[in-house]
C-alpha cells in the first residue's frame, strides 16, 4: 500500500507515546450540579486524549471530530513539543496560508497523526470514527487514516452538501459540499449499517390491513426490477384473474417466494385500464416488533451550515462561533451506527469540540429514545471551552428562551475538567497529587491495555485480566510493603499475580510458589 511522507513524519509517528499522562481535575464551579458521566475537558486534545486512555481505552463507540481544515484563515498555531529541531522551528507560530507557508500541510499532518492514533486506541472494537474535512486536506487525511486504521477499515467518504446555494467567494465551481470520512476500528466489523427511517419514508407507511395490530401500517414497492443483471429464474409469469402477467425484464423475487407472499396477502395487484401493476407490501415493524430502519446513503443533502449558525444564535441570542456544525448533522452520524437498544449507553467523543454540537446531539438523542449515552468533549481554548462549549451544553440541558419563546431543556449534566499534574514528577517519582485510584487505573491500563472498572477494586486487588490478577500497595496502604501479612490477604487461588509496591520483604522462592511478580513503584511503572 502506498504511504504518504511529509516533513516531520518520522518524529511524530510515535509522539503519542511521549506525551505525559496528566490527571483530570474536576472544576466544580463550571460543572452542572447533577453528577454526570458526561465530560467537558478544557485542554489540548493531545494531552487530554492521553489522559483519558486509562479510563476509556477501547470503550468509545463513536468519535466525531471537526479539526481545523487548514484553510489559512483559522490562525491555528503549531504547539506540539516534539523532540525535533525541524519541528521546534514551527512552535508557537500561526500556520500561514497556501503560498505563504510552505510547510502548512506538513504541520497539519504532524498535528493530526498522533491524535488520530490516540483516537483509534480509544475506540471500541465495534466503534467508528467520523472526521469532517474539506478539499484542502481530504486526500492527505485519507492516506493517513488508511495508514493508522488500515485501508480495510475505510467505510465511506460521505459527501455533505453543506450549503443551500452559492457563497460569497467561489473559485471556478461553486463549491457546495465538504466530506466526512468514516472508518471503523476493526476491519469487517461493521457490515450491516442502518439508520432510522427519514420522515419522508416514514410517511409512506400509511396503509392498513389485517396485520396492522402486529406489524403496523404498510407501504408498497414495485415487484418488477429494473436491475441490469439478467437472472432467468426471476423471469416468469404471475397468474392474476386467470391472466399471465409478465415483467418487462424480471421480478425481484423467486416464484416460490412470490407464491408464498400472495398466500399471506403481502402482494397488491393494481389494475388500471387493463394494465396490472404488481407491488409488494413492507410493514413499519418486523415480526419481533422492531421499528423498520433504512440504509444510509453516501450523500447528505443538508442539514446546512446556516442551520448550525441559526441553532447557536437561538441558544445564545447572538453570534458566538463561526461555522458551527448543525447538531442534527452529528445526530445523523451517531444514529448511523449506534442508535439501537444495545448502544443506548454508548460513549461519544469529540476532541475538537468548538461550540459543542456533539454534546447537544447526544443529549437530544437520549431525550428522544430515553437512552443514557455519554459524551466527552475536548476544547483547547479556555474561553471557548467555558463560555461557549460548556455554556451551550448547560443551556440546552436547562432550557433557554429565544425571542420570548421557551425552549424546554433536554436534561442531563456534565463535569467540567482541566488537565492536572502529570503522573510522574520531574524526577520520575509518582506526583504527590496522585491517588490510589489514579495509579490503579494507570497501572492496570499499562499492563492490560484496557480500562479498569474501578467498581471492582477491592482493597489491594485492583482487577483481573486474562487470568492474571493485579494488586497495588500505594499511598500508605500497609506502608506500601509486601510482607507475610499481605501474602495472607491476597486471593488464595492458583492464578498469577502482579503486585505493585514500594518494597517486598518476601523471598524469591515464596513469591514463585505463590506465582507472584513484584513490581517496584515507580521504577517498574511503565510509561505508556
Interface contacts to ligand SAM, rule CB under 6 A: 44-45, 66, 68, 321, 324-325, 352, 354-355, 357, 378-381, 384
Nearer to ligand SAM, 68 or 217 (CB): 68
DSSP string, 377-436: EEES-HHIIIIIIIHHHHHHHHEEEETTEEEE------EEEEEEEESB-TTSSBPTT--H
Nearer to ligand SAM, 130 or 400 (CB): 130
Residues in CB range of 99: below 8 A, 6 or more apart: none
Nearer to ligand SAM, 71 or 265 (CB): 71
Residue recorded with cell 407501504: 219
Q: Minimal distance in Å, beta carbon 354 to ligand SAM?
A: 3
Q: Minimal distance in Å, beta carbon 378 to ligand SAM?
A: 5
Q: Minimal distance in Å, beta carbon 115 to ligand SAM?
A: 7
The SS3 assignment for 217 reads coil
Q: Minimal distance in Å, beta carbon 157 to ligand SAM?
A: 18
DSSP string, 220-289: EEESEE--SS--GGG---EEETTEEE--SSEESS-HHHHHHHHHTT-EEEEEETTEEEEEEEEESB-TTS
Distances (CA, A) of 369 to 195, 361, 409, 511: 14, 12, 15, 53
Q: Minimal distance in Å, beta carbon 49 to ligand SAM?
A: 9
CA angle at 431 for the pair 385 and 487, rounded to the nearest 5°: 125
Helical ranges in 150-240 per DSSP H: 199-204, 212-215
Q: Which residue is nearest to ligand SAM (CB)?
A: 354
Burial zone of 236 (CB within 10 Å; 0-12 exposed, 13-18 middle, 19+ buried): middle
Q: Minimal distance in Å, beta carbon 324 to ligand SAM?
A: 4
The SS3 assignment for 41 reads strand
Nearer to ligand SAM, 147 or 178 (CB): 178
Q: Minimal distance in Å, beta carbon 45 to ligand SAM?
A: 3
Q: Minimal distance in Å, beta carbon 307 to ligand SAM?
A: 11
Q: Which three cell numbers stand for residue 308?
A: 448550525
Nearer to ligand SAM, 74 or 86 (CB): 74
HSE-CB for 186 with a 13 A CA cutoff: 10
Nearer to ligand SAM, 373 or 519 (CB): 373
Q: What share of the chain is helix, strand, coil (3-state, %, to 5)?
A: 35, 25, 40
Contact 455, 58 (CB under 8 A): no
Nearer to ligand SAM, 5 or 71 (CB): 71
User: Which residues are paired to 243 by β-bridges?
Assistant: 240
Nearer to ligand SAM, 21 or 352 (CB): 352
Nearer to ligand SAM, 64 or 251 (CB): 64
Q: Minimal distance in Å, beta carbon 431 to ligand SAM?
A: 23
Amino acid at each position: 500500500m502506498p504511504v504518504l511522507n511529509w516533513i516531520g513524519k518520522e518524529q511524530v509517528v510515535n509522539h503519542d507515546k511521549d506525551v505525559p499522562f496528566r490527571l483530570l481535575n474536576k472544576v466544580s464551579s463550571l460543572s452542572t450540579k447533577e453528577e454526570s458521566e458526561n465530560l467537558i475537558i478544557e485542554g489540548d486534545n493531545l494531552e487530554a486524549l492521553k489522559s483519558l486512555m486509562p479510563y476509556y481505552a477501547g470503550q468509545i463507540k463513536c468519535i466525531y471530530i471537526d479539526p481545523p481544515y487548514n484553510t489559512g484563515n483559522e490562525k491555528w498555531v503549531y504547539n506540539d513539543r516534539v523532540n525535533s529541531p525541524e519541528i521546534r522551528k514551527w512552535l508557537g507560530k500561526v500556520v500561514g496560508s497556501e503560498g505563504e507557508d510552505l510547510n502548512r500541510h506538513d504541520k497539519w499532518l504532524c498535528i493530526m497523526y498522533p491524535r488520530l492514533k490516540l483516537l483509534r486506541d480509544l475506540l471500541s472494537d465495534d466503534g467508528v470514527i467520523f472526521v469532517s474535512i474539506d478539499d484542502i486536506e481530504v486526500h492527505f487525511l485519507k492516506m493517513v487514516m488508511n495508514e493508522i486504521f488500515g485501508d480495510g477499515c475505510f467505510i465511506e467518504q460521505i459527501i455533505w452538501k453543506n450549503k443551500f446555494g452559492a457563497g460569497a467567494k467561489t473559485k471556478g465551481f461553486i463549491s457546495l459540499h465538504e466530506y466526512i470520512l468514516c472508518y471503523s476500528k476493526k476491519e469487517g466489523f461493521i457490515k450491516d449499517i442502518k439508520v432510522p427511517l427519514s420522515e419522508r419514508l416514514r410517511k409512506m407507511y400509511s396503509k392498513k390491513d389485517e396485520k396492522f395490530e402486529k406489524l403496523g401500517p404498510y407501504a408498497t414497492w414495485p415487484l418488477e426490477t429494473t436491475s441490469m443483471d439478467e437472472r432467468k429464474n426471476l423471469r416468469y409469469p404471475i397468474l392474476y384473474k386467470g391472466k399471465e402477467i409478465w415483467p418487462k425484464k424480471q421480478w425481484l423475487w423467486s416464484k416460490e417466494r412470490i407464491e408464498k407472499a400472495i398466500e399471506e396477502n403481502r402482494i397488491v395487484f393494481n389494475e388500471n385500464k387493463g394494465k396490472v401493476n404488481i407491488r409488494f407490501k413492507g410493514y413499519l415493524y418486523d415480526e419481533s416488533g422492531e421499528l423498520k430502519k433504512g440504509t444510509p446513503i453516501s450523500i447528505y443533502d443538508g442539514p446546512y451550515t446556516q442551520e448550525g449558525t441559526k441553532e447557536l444564535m437561538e441558544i445564545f441570542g447572538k453570534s458566538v462561533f463561526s461555522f458551527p456544525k448543525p447538531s442534527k448533522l452529528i445526530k445523523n452520524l451517531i444514529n448511523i451506527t449506534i442508535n439501537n437498544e444495545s448502544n443506548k449507553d454508548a460513549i461519544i467523543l469529540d476532541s475538537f469540540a468548538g461550540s459543542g454540537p456533539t454534546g447537544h446531539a447526544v443529549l437530544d438523542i437520549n431525550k428522544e429514545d430515553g437512552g443514557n449515552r455519554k459524551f466527552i468533549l475536548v476544547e483547547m481554548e479556555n474561553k471557548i471551552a467555558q463560555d461557549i462549549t460548556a455554556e451551550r451544553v448547560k443551556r440546552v440541558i436547562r432550557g433557554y428562551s429565544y425571542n420570548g419563546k421557551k425552549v424546554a431543556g433536554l436534561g442531563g449534566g456534565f463535569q467540567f475538567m482541566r488537565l492536572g499534574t502529570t503522573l510522574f514528577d520531574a524526577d520520575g517519582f509518582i506526583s504527590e497529587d496522585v491517588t490510589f485510584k489514579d495509579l490503579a487505573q494507570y497501572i492496570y491500563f499499562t499492563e492490560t491495555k484496557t480500562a479498569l472498572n474501578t467498581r471492582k477494586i477491592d482493597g489491594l486487588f485492583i482487577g483481573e485480566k486474562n487470568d492474571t490478577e493485579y494488586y497495588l500497595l500505594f499511598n500508605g496502604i500497609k506502608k506500601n510493603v509486601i510482607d507475610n501479612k499481605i501474602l495472607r490477604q491476597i486471593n488464595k487461588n492458583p492464578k498469577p499475580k502482579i503486585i505493585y509496591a514500594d518494597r517486598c520483604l518476601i523471598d524469591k522462592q515464596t513469591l514463585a510458589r505463590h506465582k507472584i511478580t513484584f513490581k517496584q513503584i515507580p521504577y517498574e511503572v511503565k510509561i505508556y
